[in-house]
């Protein structure tokens, strides 16, 4: 057990127009997760603290937030990785609705612009079975299938902070997942979206997204591959 202090950035426009900080002293095990601590604050000290959470093990993407200045999932960040004072804020660059909850509607709207769904006019095989795809073809887009739409990447991107119209790394990751799928035929439509002014060229390879991704996706590389496809007109 160690003593830790949580410093949480709070906001509740129903109560007061400006944000404030609340501080909470807790005894914590090194194996506890930041989400456990937030739950304990909410359950034992202050029921008004608001945040999203669901799965509790890093796969649903609900509890993305800024922990000591880095975008992370609270349920995947252990106390042992942090110091005795833990600073928690909502994601940057997104409208805060209450405490750690940000407005995700623009994020999902940007996601929808890249047509994040399988496009193919080719009929499935006449025997009704699966389309064929070799393990190598499958591997080509494996990394970007891991995305859980938590927004850690987009909310860490300086280009997104500068212009929230930029579709952001998460949308490009989703576009990549389909562009490089050998079965998909929508690459042209998606590359068009990605090539627009608010598309991939806004990316200045700051690498923040790759560092922020809790799923370990090499986002900068994926964006680079989409840029290359646009530049060469070839999907390889």
Partner 1 sequence: MTHHHQFDAVIVGAGGAGLMAALQAARLTNVAVISKMYPTRSHTGTAQGGIAAPLGNMEEDHWEWYMYDTVKGGDYLVDQDAAEILARESVEAIYELEHMGLPFDRTQEGRIEQRRFGGHTREYGKGPVMRSCKSADRTGHMILQTLYQNCIKHNVRFFDEFFVADVLVHEGVARGVVAVEIATGELHLFHAKAVLLASGGFGRMFAVTSNAHSLTGEPVAALYRRGLPLEDMEFFQFHPTGIYKMGILLSEAARGEGGVLLNGRGERFLENYAPTLMDLAPRDMLSRFIYQEVAAGRGVDGKDYVHLDIRPETINRYGSAPGGRTVTAAELEEKLPDIIEMMRVYMGVEPMREPVPIQPTAHYAMGGIPTDNDGRVLAGPTRTVSGLYAAGECACVSVHGANRLGTNSLVDLVVFGRRGGKALGEFCRRADYAPLPPRAEAEAQGALDELRASRGGERVATLRSELQRVMMDKVGVFRKAAGMREALSAVRGLKERYTQIGLDDRGAAFNTDLLEAFELGALLDLAEVTAASALQRTESRGAHYRDDFPERDDTHWLKHTFAYRSEGGDVRPTRGEVRFETKPVVVTRFEPKPRTY
Is the Cβ of residue 55 or residue 101 nearer to ligand FES in the bound state? 55
Helix, strand, coil % (nearest 5) of the chain?
A: 35, 20, 45
- The dihedral built from the CA positions of residue 133, 138, 140 and 141, taken in this order, carries a sign that is positive
Which of ligand FES, partner 1, none is residue 73 near (CB under 5 to 8 Å by kind)?
Answer: ligand FES
Please choose, out of 53-61, 95-103, 159-167, 192-200, the segment that lies near ligand FES by the rule CB under 6 A: 53-61
Is the Cβ of residue 99 or residue 226 nearer to partner 1 in the bound state? 99
CB of 157 to partner 1, least distance (A): 20
Residues 6+ apart with CB under 8 A from 228: none
Q: In angstroms, rounded to a whole number, what is the distance separating the alpha carbons of residues 104 and 170?
A: 12
Is the Cβ of residue 61 or residue 116 nearer to ligand FES in the bound state? 61
* Interface of this chain with ligand FES, residues 97 to 156, rule: CB under 6 A: none
CB of 33 to ligand FES, least distance (A): 9
Is the Cβ of residue 64 or residue 159 nearer to ligand FES in the bound state? 64
Alpha carbon 92 to chain centroid distance? 12
CB of 223 to partner 1, least distance (A): 20
Tokens 């880095």, residue located = 70
Please choose, out of 9-17, 38-46, 47-55, 151-159, the segment that lies near ligand FES by the rule CB under 6 A: 47-55
* Interface of this chain with ligand FES, residues 60 to 99, rule: CB under 6 A: 60-63, 73, 75
Which residues lie across from 162 on neighbouring strands? none
Closest C-alpha among 175, 227, 233, 177 to residue 203:
227
Strand order in the sheet with 70-73: 16-28, 2-12, 85-89, 64-67, 70-73
Residues that bind partner 1 (CB under 8 A): 12-15, 31, 33, 42-44, 46-48, 50-62, 76, 78, 80, 97-99, 101, 104, 108, 112, 115-118, 120, 124, 128-135, 137-138, 141-142, 145-146, 148-149, 178, 181, 183-184
CB of 193 to partner 1, least distance (A): 14
Closest C-alpha among 102, 127, 115 to residue 193:
115
By the 10 Å C-beta count (0-12 exposed, 13-18 middle, 19+ buried), 75 is classed as: buried
- The dihedral built from the CA positions of residue 180, 186, 188 and 189, taken in this order, carries a sign that is negative
Is the Cβ of residue 72 or residue 190 nearer to ligand FES in the bound state? 72
Contact flag: residue 53 with ligand FES (CB under 6 A): yes
Contact residues for ligand FES (CB under 6 A)? 53-56, 58-63, 73, 75
């Amino acid at each position: 057990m160690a003593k830790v202090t949580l410093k949480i950035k709070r906001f509740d426009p129903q109560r007061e127009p400006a944000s404030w900080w609340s501080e909470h002293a807790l005894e914590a095990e090194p194996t506890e997760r930041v989400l456990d601590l937030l739950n304990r604050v909410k359950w034992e000290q202050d029921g008004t603290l608001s945040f999203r959470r669901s799965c509790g093990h890093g796969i649903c993407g609900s509890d993305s937030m800024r922990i000591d200045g880095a975008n992370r999932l609270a349920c995947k960040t252990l106390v042992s990785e942090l110091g005795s004072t833990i600073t928690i804020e909502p994601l940057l660059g997104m409208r805060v609705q209450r405490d750690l909850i940000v407005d995700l509607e623009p994020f999902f709207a940007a996601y929808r612009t890249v047509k994040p769904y399988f496009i193919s006019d080719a009929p499935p095989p006449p025997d009704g079975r699966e389309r064929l795809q070799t393990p190598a073809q499958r591997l080509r887009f494996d990394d970007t299938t891991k995305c859980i739409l938590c927004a850690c990447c987009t909310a860490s991107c300086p280009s997104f902070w500068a212009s929230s119209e930029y579709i952001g790394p998460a949308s490009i990751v989703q576009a990549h997942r389909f562009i490089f799928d050998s079965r998909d035929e929508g690459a042209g439509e998606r590359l068009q979206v990605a090539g627009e002014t608010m598309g991939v060229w806004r990316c200045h390879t700051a690498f923040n997204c790759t560092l922020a991704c809790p799923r370990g996706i090499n986002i900068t590389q994926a964006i680079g591959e989409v840029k290359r496809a646009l530049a060469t007109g070839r999907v390889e």
